[in-house]
Amino acid sequence: MTCCAANDADSLRHNPAFKLALGRLPDAAELCSQPTISRLENLLRPRELLRMSQAMVGLYRDGFRQVPRRITLDIDDTFDAVHGGQQLRLFNAY
């Protein structure tokens, strides 16, 4: 199953697999719509986003038996435009 962005919410709100994942029956009412998700995304303030990021780092760190002294983030900002039907053309660098 793929992750969905807010622009997919309207079509995926009827998806039985997403309903089951949320503890609903496949024939239950549809899930929330794109405007609802957008309102939720824009509800958080910078301080709350900082607290969420700190919590995510804490959860990641707690996954180790012994906390590493250093964590290296290997971020590749290379943009490689492809044209036509090339392999991996659907890769989204964002």
Q: Each residue's pLDDT tens digit in the chain (94 positions)? A: 344 456 677 788 899 998 999 899 999 999 888 888 778 778 888 999 899 999 998 998 899 999 888 888 887 777 666 666 666 666 655 5
Q: Is residue 74 part of a domain?
A: no
- For residue 20, give its domain range: 6-62
Residue 90 inside a domain? The answer is: no
In the prediction, which pLDDT does 89 show?
A: 63
pLDDT for residue 2: 43
**pLDDT score for 20:** 92
Domain total of the chain:
1
> How many CB atoms sit inside 10 A of residue 79's CB?
6
pLDDT at 94: 52
